[in-house]
Amino acid sequence: MPIYEYQCRRCEHRFELIQKFSDKPRKRCPECSGTVKRLISPPAIRFKGTGWYVTDYANKKSNEEDKKSNEEDKKSNEEDKKSNEEDKKSNKEDKRETASKNKETESKKAKEKKEKKAS
């Protein structure tokens, strides 16, 4: 049954009544017997039965979703590890290349110095 809210036009007293749809609206204030008007208010909703609490079936869905997201996280973590390992390998190779290039340039510079001293 819906809950209707009324307000007295004379004393401005507000009150609520639980009424059937078929009941006639209230016309008099219980405080001062003045005329009342029915107010428009948001509906009061009462959830009955199972499934409305965290401990009910809604939690099962979230567990399944959590499992899926955990699996996805594991896959992405594995992919990240693989890409990190590849990056490390390429970085090592890059370091080796730069080291060998540096040695070559150093040896070239040393040769140039020797040639300058000899001349």
pTM of the predicted protein model: 0.37
Kindly state whether residue 117 falls inside one of the protein's structural domains: no
Kindly state whether residue 104 falls inside one of the protein's structural domains: no
Q: For every one of its 119 residues, what pLDDT tens digit does the chain have, with 9 covering 90 and above?
A: 788 899 999 999 999 999 898 999 899 999 999 999 999 877 767 777 766 666 655 545 555 666 777 788 788 778 888 888 888 888 788 888 887 888 888 888 888 888 887 76
Kindly state whether residue 118 falls inside one of the protein's structural domains: no
Tell me, yes or no, whether 55 and 90 share the same domain. Answer: yes
Q: What is the DSSP string of the chain?
A: --EEEEEETTT--EEEEE--TTSPPP-B-TTT--BEEEEP-PPP----SSSSSTTSHHHHHHHHHHHHHHHHHHHHHHHHHHHHHHHHHHHHHHHHHHHHHHHHHHHHHHHHHHHHHH-
Supply the pLDDT for residue 84. 80
The number of domains in the chain is 2
